[in-house]
């Protein structure tokens, strides 16, 4: 059975399993904001047809103005990208032919980007409680040119603290190692001042990657950016293809970035659902990671060997989780779920209850 490498492909999962799903399918496999896209977007998009008819402004002036204002970072420290994915691949290209460190399980595209640019990858593992192996990491840094960190981490949803990132940055400054921090999901964090951005003034080896496709639910439009020192941004810019970001996305960015009400609404939804899910899943006897973002890992503590069967059961009940077969270190032993709307999460809890009752 060949399952897709990324979430958001429910039809392919259903076909691969040969399960007959009838009625509405609930896609928990893609960790996209279920609140969005912002309501005004559907009115705005037809008006932007003219942006499709000519090349985007090569300087992306309005988009950079808005991004710089929102991030409170100089424009020369920003690079607009075609999603977080382009930010990852451009960054990896900086280290072509060199050595990288990846801590598994994490987002699979770091490895793929490293392979694409002939980078030799050393792997370490999170421990059983999904904590980072700091001692081993500190040692490994002296042998590599770059380390890829994901915060919050996909697929665990857990968060490396800013203090811990600073500890690694300090070592990296001494060993000549760049620290890449992928903050694709940072916009979902409920606490204030949640980014490692404030360390930029002190550590020239810090490269922050961001995605806007998750929070604004626009994976088809694509939007992301890099925040780093002027020097690193200039190097990345040299490697970026022209007009990489499409004109429609660029034209939308100022309005997206200034829509504070949308982000407040997102956090209100997430805070409530996170709390409910944590309580109910534990009560049903399911292990789940203590996620601070919009997805979490789950395993049936009472039937830990039956994850494949649980996967099939959920799909047969129109719920599509994200398998973890291609997350090194998880190897299919967990399932990843997006935090969806209240109704969808309630349906998931209902089906998990059925699974539990079935086993009794
Ligand atoms: C951790 C992480 N970084 C980056 C990306 C890519 O984001 P984008 O859709 O903006 O390319 C993803 C997508 O799943 C992700 O999980």
Q: Each residue of 107-156: pLDDT tens digit?
A: 999 999 999 999 999 999 999 999 999 999 999 999 999 999 999 999 99
- What's the pLDDT at 251? 97
pLDDT in tens, 67-89: 999 999 999 999 999 999 999 99
CA distance 206 to 227: 9
Residue 326 has pLDDT above 90, yes or no: no
Tell me if 182 CB under 6 Å of ligand 1. yes
Residue whose C-alpha is closest to residue 258's, from 70, 42, 56, 51: 70
- What's the pLDDT at 23? 82
CA distance 261 to 244: 29
- What's the pLDDT at 70? 96
4 or 249, which is more confident: 249
Share of the chain above pLDDT 70, in %: 98
Residue 290 has pLDDT above 90, yes or no: yes
Residue whose C-alpha is closest to residue 92's, from 187, 209, 2, 173: 209
Tell me if 38 CB under 6 Å of ligand 1. no
Both tokens of 59, joined, read: 């300087």
Residue of 84, 154, 294, 326 to test ligand 1 pocket, by largest number of atoms within 8 Å of CB: 84
Strand, coil or helix: 27: strand
Contacts (Cβ under 8 Å, ≥6 apart) of 261: none
Tell me if 149 CB under 6 Å of ligand 1. no
Q: Measured in angstroms, how far is the CA atom of residue 359 from the centroid of ligand 1?
A: 36
Strand pairing category for 295-300 and 319-320: unpaired
Per DSSP, 54 falls in state: S
- What's the pLDDT at 9? 75
CA distance 54 to 359: 60
- What's the pLDDT at 36? 83
- What's the pLDDT at 258? 96
- What's the pLDDT at 325? 87
- Numbered ranges of CATH 3.40.640.10 in the chain: 41-258
The mean pLDDT value for 321-325 works out to: 91
Both tokens of 266, joined, read: 């997102």
Residue of 4, 8, 83 to test ligand 1 pocket, by largest number of atoms within 8 Å of CB: 83
Both tokens of 317, joined, read: 């009940």
Both tokens of 278, joined, read: 């944590």
Share of the chain above pLDDT 90, in %: 88
Residue of 209, 211, 213, 218 to test ligand 1 pocket, by largest number of atoms within 8 Å of CB: 211
Cβ atoms of 288 and 348 closer than 8 Å: no
Q: Measured in angstroms, how far is the CA atom of residue 9 from the centroid of ligand 1?
A: 15
| Ligand 1 atom at minimum distance from 213 CA | 10
| Angle value at C-alpha 254, between 249 and 260, nearest 5 degrees | 115
- What's the pLDDT at 358? 81
| Ligand 1 atom at minimum distance from 211 CA | 10
Mean pLDDT of the residues in the chain: 94
CA distance 87 to 80: 8
Contacts (Cβ under 8 Å, ≥6 apart) of 239: 90, 93, 94
Tell me if 107 CB under 6 Å of ligand 1. yes
Contacts (Cβ under 8 Å, ≥6 apart) of 59: none
Q: Measured in angstroms, how far is the CA atom of residue 20 from the centroid of ligand 1?
A: 30
- Numbered ranges of CATH 3.90.1150.10 in the chain: 10-37+261-359
Name the pLDDT band for 360 (thresholds 50, 70, 90).
low
Contacts (Cβ under 8 Å, ≥6 apart) of 283: none
Contacts (Cβ under 8 Å, ≥6 apart) of 343: none
- Judged on CB neighbours under 10 Å (0-12, 13-18, 19+), 180 is buried
Residue whose C-alpha is closest to residue 291's, from 129, 156, 107: 156
Q: In the beta sheet, which residues pair with residue 295?
A: 338
CA distance 219 to 350: 29
| Ligand 1 atom at minimum distance from 82 CA | 11
Name the pLDDT band for 11 (thresholds 50, 70, 90).
confident
The mean pLDDT value for 180-194 works out to: 93
CA distance 78 to 35: 27
| Ligand 1 atom at minimum distance from 107 CA | 1
The H or E element that residue 79 is part of is strand 78-81
| Ligand 1 atom at minimum distance from 88 CA | 4
The H or E element that residue 300 is part of is strand 295-300
- 41-258: which CATH architecture? 3-Layer(aba) Sandwich (3.40)
Residue 22 has pLDDT above 80, yes or no: no
Tell me if 273 CB under 6 Å of ligand 1. no
Please name the fold of domain 10-37+261-359.
3.90.1150
- What's the pLDDT at 21? 67
């Amino acid at each position: 059975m060949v399952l897709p490498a990324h979430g958001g492909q429910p039809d392919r999962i259903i076909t691969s399993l040969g399960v007959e799903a009838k009625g509405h399918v609930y896609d928990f496999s893609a960790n996209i904001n279920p609140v969005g896209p912002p309501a005004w977007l559907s009115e705005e998009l037809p008006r932007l047809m003219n942006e499709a008819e000519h090349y985007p402004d090569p300087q992306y002036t309005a988009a950079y103005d808005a991004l710089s204002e929102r991030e409170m970072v100089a424009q020369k420290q920003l690079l607009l990208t075609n999603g977080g994915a382009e930010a990852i691949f451009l960054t990896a290209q900086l280290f072509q032919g060199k050595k990288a460190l990846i801590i598994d399980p994490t987002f699979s595209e770091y490895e793929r980007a490293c392979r694409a640019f002939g980078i030799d990858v050393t792997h370490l593992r999170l421990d059983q409680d999904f904590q980072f192996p700091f001692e081993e990491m500190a040692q490994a840094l002296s042998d590599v040119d770059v380390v890829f960190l994901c915060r919050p981490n996909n697929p665990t949803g857990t968060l490396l603290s800013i203090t811990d990132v600073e500890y690694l940055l300090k070592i990296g400054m001494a060993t000549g190692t760049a620290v890449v921090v992928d903050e694709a999901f940072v916009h979902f964090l409920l606490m204030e001042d949640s980014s490692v951005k404030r360390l930029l003034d002190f550590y020239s080896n810090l490269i922050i990657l961001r995605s806007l496709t998750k929070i604004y639910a626009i994976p088809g439009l694509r939007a992301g950016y890099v925040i780093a020192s002027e020097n690193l941004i200039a190097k990345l810019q040299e490697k970026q293809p022209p007009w990489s970001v499409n004109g429609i996305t660029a034209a939308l960015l100022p309005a997206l970035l200034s829509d504070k009400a949308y982000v407040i609404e997102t956090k209100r939804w997430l805070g409530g659902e996170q709390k409910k899910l944590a309580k109910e899943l534990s009560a049903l006897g399911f292990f789940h990671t203590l996620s601070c973002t919009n997805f979490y890992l789950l395993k049936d503590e009472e039937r830990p060997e039956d994850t494949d069967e649980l996967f099939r059961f959920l799909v047969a009940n129109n719920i599509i989780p994200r398998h973890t077969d291609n997350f090194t270190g998880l190897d299919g032993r967990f399932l990843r779920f997006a935090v969806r709307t209240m109704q969808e999460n309630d349906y998931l809890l209902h089906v998990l209850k059925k699974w539990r009752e079935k086993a009794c």
